[in-house]
Structure 1
Amino acid sequence: MNYKSPSLIVVGGGAAGFFCAVNAARLNPDLKVTILERSSKLLSKVKVSGGGRCNVTHACFDILEMCKCYPRGNNFVKKLFHHFFTEDTVQWFKERGVALKTEADGRMFPVTDSSQTIIDCLLREASQYGVNILMNCDVKEIRYLGNTFELKVGGDRRFTADYVCIATGGAPKASMLDWVSSLGHNIVAPVPSLFTFNLPKHSITALMGISVPDVIVKITGSRLQQRGPVLITHWGLSGPAVLKLSAYAARELAAVYWVFNIIVNWLPDYNEQALRNKFNELRYENGAQLLYHKNPFGLPQRLWQYFLKECEISETCRRADLSARHQNMLVQKLTACSFTVKGKTTFKEEFVTAGGIALNEIDVNTMMSKKVSNLFFAGEVIDVDGITGGYNFQNAWSTGWVAANSIAALSQKLSQ
C-alpha cells in the first residue's frame, strides 16, 4: 500500500501563520507543511512592531483582565486563552533561547530590543521542522473537494492539501476575502482600528514631538474615552490614549467617515471647578511669579505657553494679575480643549482592522471552521482585535497554537 503523508497549507506568512506552521510541523513530523505568502516579505508586522523591537505580548497573566483589552472578540479570547496564554508565550520563546523583558507599561519585548530576534527564532523553527515557504503566492480561489482542498494562486498555480489554515491578517476590504466567503463563511465588514487623529492645519501641530504622559481624550457626544499618554504630531494627535480610543470607537468613527469632535483634558486630575480653585490658591502662594516662566502642573513648557498664547495672556502677566476672563479661557483649554478631527492616519504594516471571519462560525477550542471540516483560522483574519500593547500578537500566538495542535492531532489519526 502506498502511504501518503498528510499535508497542511498555511495561507499567510505572518505571526499567526508561522506559529501555526512551525508548531504543527513539530507536533506531527509526518505532516507536510507549506506556507503560502502573497508578498515578498515574511513576518512584516513582526519586523516593524514596537518601533522595530517587536511587542511580543503584554505582561498580563489574568485572563479576565486581558480580555478587557479586546474591543471585539473579548468573549472569544476569554475561552481561547485557557488553551494558550501569555505565560505560555513567554515560555515558548524562552525554550528556544529568546528571553523577554517587561517594560513599565506592561509591554514585553525581546531583551535584545530587536524584532529580528523573534523573526530568526521562527525561521529556525521552520527550517528545523521542514516547513516549506513559498513567496509571492497570492491565493485567488479555494475549493473544498470533500476530503482535500485545492488552492489556486496567481499565475494559475494550484496546490492541494488535507488541511488549510487561513492566517492572512487583517483585510482592508471585505472583497479581499471573497475567496474565503466562497466556502460559505460570513465576513464581518472590516474597518480600520489603531489609528491617529488628524487635525488639518491646527496650530497645535506646530508642537509636534511633545508628549504628555497623562491625558483624557473623549469623543464628544459619547461615553467613549481613554486616559493615558498623548503625542502631538505634525498631523494631529497620537499616542496610546488616542490609539486605544480609536480601537474601541473603530466602528462608530468609520460610520461618520472619521470626522468627529473630541474633548481633551490635559490635566485629568482636575475638572473645571477644581482647576479654578487651584488658580485662586496660586494667586496667594506666589502671586508675583510670571505665568509664562513656570507652570505648576507639570505640563511641557512649550505646551503651557501655547495655551497662554491661545488665551491671549500677556507674557508679562503675573499670577495675581490673571483676569477672570483669561482664567476661564485657560481653564477651558486645559480641562476641556475641543478639537475637530478630520481623518485618520495609520501605520502601514502596523495597520489593524476590526472585522474578519465571523466568530460564531469558528470553534474556539480547535480554531476549525464550523462550516468546512479541516479548514482553520488564525490571527487577525478573524473578527478579533486588541488595543496597542502586544494584545494582537497574543491573539496571533494563541490562535496559531490552538490551530496547530488541532491539525497535528487530526493528521496523526489520518496517518494511522
Structure 2
Amino acid sequence: MKIGVIGGGAAGFFAAIHASGPGKEVSIFEKSPKLLSKVKVSGGGRCNVTHRPMEISKLVKNYPRGEKFLKKVFPKFKSEDTIHWFENRGVRLKVEADGRMFPVSDDSQSIIDALLKEAQQLRISIRKSCGVHAIFPLDGQFKLKTDAGDFLFDKLIIATGGHPKSSSYEFLNQLKHSILEPIPSLFTFNTPKESLRELMGVSVTDGVVKIEGTKLNYRGPVLVTHWGVSGPAVLKLSAFGAQWLKDTNYQATALINWNGEMGEGEYQTNLTNYALAHPNRKVSSHALFEIPARLWEHFTYRSGIDTNQLYGGLSKKQINKLVQNLFCYTLRVEGKTTFKEEFVTAGGINLNEVNPETLESNYHPNLYFAGEVLNIDGITGGFNFQAAWSTGFLAGKASST
C-alpha cells in the first residue's frame, strides 16, 4: 500500500510515522528545503511540545476554532500520549509554572531529531523542495502532480499547515472541499499613537485585557513592547477575537486592568486607606498593587499627579483618575504584528467535511487531513502542537488500515 503525506511539519511527520508498518510504503512531500521548520522556531527555539495534561473538557476550551471537533479526537491521543511517545524515544519533557511543556534539553532540535530518527527507522521516503501543484482523485487512488513529476498513491494525508492566503490552497481545487478564508491568529496589538510604548520591556504577571464593545477578554501576563502590547493575555485574546478584529481591520480599543486580582472598588478603597496611613509618602515613588515602578510613574503622570505630590494631598478627582488608569486603561489599537516567528492561522478545511473519528474526507475515501490545514487553531501554550500530534496520529492510524 502506497501512502502519500503532503507536508513535512509536525502533523505530517506524526501522520507518516503512524501510517507506517508492514506492507506500507510511506512518502513525505515538503515544498521547502527545510523539514519541521515550525518545530525549530517554536517557543524561542525550545519547542513548546504540549501543555500539562488536563481533562479533555478543559483542554478543548483552549481552541477558538475546533473545540467540538477535538472532543472526538483527543480521547484517542491526548497530552499524556504525547509525553509518553517522546519520552519513550529518549526525549524527557518538563512542565513550566504556566503549564507549558518543553524538552529538558530546552532545545527544539531534540524533538526534530526524535521525529527524523523514527522516520528513518521506518524507512519513510522524504522529498524536500518538492511542492505539490495538484491532486487528482483517480479510480480510488490519488494522482499528485509535483516538482519531481507525477506520483500515484492508494491513500493520501494532507498536512500542509496553515497559510496566510486562500491562493495557497489552490492545489486542493480538484477535491471539492470548501476552504474557509485564512485569517491570522496569535498576534500582538500595535498602538502607534500611545505613549505607553515608551515603557517597552515593562510587564505585569496578571493583567486582564478586554476589547471594548465585545465580551472578549483574557487574563494573564501583559508585556509592553516598542510597537504596543503583547504577552499571553494579548495573544490569547487575539486568537479568540481573530475574526472580530479582522472584520474591524484591526482597529479597536483595548481596556487593561493591570492587576487581575483587583476590582475597581478595591483599588479605590486601598488607595484611600494607603493615603490615610502614609500621607507623607510621595505618590510617584511608592507604587502599589504590584505595579512596576516605571508603569506606576506613567499612571501618576496620566492622572495629573505631580512628581513631588504626597499621598495625603491627593484629591478625590486624582484618586478616581488613578483608579481608572489601573483598572480600565484605554489603548487605541491600530494594527497587529505576528508574534515572533510563530505564525498561526485560523481557517482552512471546513471541519464539517471531515470525519473527526478518522480525519477522513467526507467526499473522498482514503483521503485524510491533519494539523493546521484544518480549521483548528489553539492559543499559545503548546495547544497547536498538541492538535498537530493528535490529528496526525489519528490520520496516520486510520490510513494504515
1:69-80 correspondence to structure 2 within 5 Å: 69-80=62-73
Letter paired with 1:283: A
- 1:34 is the counterpart of 2:27: yes
Off by >4 Å, runs of 4+ in structure 1: none
Q: Quick check: 1:44–1:349 contact (8 Å CA) kept in 2?
A: no
CA distance in 2, matches of 1:348, 1:339: 22
1:6-405 correspondence to structure 2 within 5 Å: 6-25=1-20, 28-154=21-147, 157-347=149-339, 349-405=341-397
Residue 9 of structure 1: how far off its partner (Å): 1.1
Q: Quick check: 2:349–2:375 contact (8 Å CA) kept in 1?
A: yes
Q: Quick check: 2:39–2:112 contact (8 Å CA) kept in 1?
A: yes
TM-score (norm: length of structure 2): 0.98
**Segment drifting more, 243-252 vs 283-292:** 283-292
Q: Quick check: 2:16–2:27 contact (8 Å CA) kept in 1?
A: yes
CA distance in 1, matches of 2:45, 2:363: 38
CA distance in 2, matches of 1:261, 1:296: 26
CA distance in 1, matches of 2:369, 2:260: 42
**Segment drifting more, 178-187 vs 75-84:** 178-187
CA distance in 1, matches of 2:19, 2:133: 24
CA distance in 2, matches of 1:99, 1:169: 26
Q: Which residue of 2 aligns with 1:412?
A: none
CA distance in 1, matches of 2:340, 2:226: 17
CA distance in 1, matches of 2:340, 2:304: 40
CA distance in 2, matches of 1:227, 1:151: 46
TM-score (norm: length of structure 1): 0.94
CA distance in 1, matches of 2:396, 2:260: 46
CA distance in 1, matches of 2:131, 2:224: 38
**Segment drifting more, 47-56 vs 266-275:** 266-275
Q: Quick check: 1:165–1:376 contact (8 Å CA) kept in 2?
A: yes
**Segment drifting more, 228-237 vs 28-37:** 28-37
Q: Quick check: 1:369–1:375 contact (8 Å CA) kept in 2?
A: yes
Q: Deviations over 1:229-280 (max 9, x none)?
A: 0011110010000000001111111111111111111122333333222121
5+ residue gaps, structure 2: none
**Segment drifting more, 118-127 vs 283-292:** 283-292
Letter paired with 1:72: R
Q: Deviations over 1:104-145 (max 9, x none)?
A: 100011111110000000010111111111111121111010
CA distance in 1, matches of 2:285, 2:194: 25
CA change 1:348–1:309 in 2 (3 A) is: closer
5+ residue gaps, structure 1: 1-5, 410-416
Q: Quick check: 2:192–2:227 contact (8 Å CA) kept in 1?
A: yes
CA distance in 1, matches of 2:360, 2:198: 51
CA RMSD in angstroms comes to 1.2
Q: Quick check: 1:216–1:226 contact (8 Å CA) kept in 2?
A: yes
Residue 348 of structure 1: how far off its partner (Å): 6.0
Q: Deviations over 1:277-297 (max 9, x none)?
A: 212101221111111222121
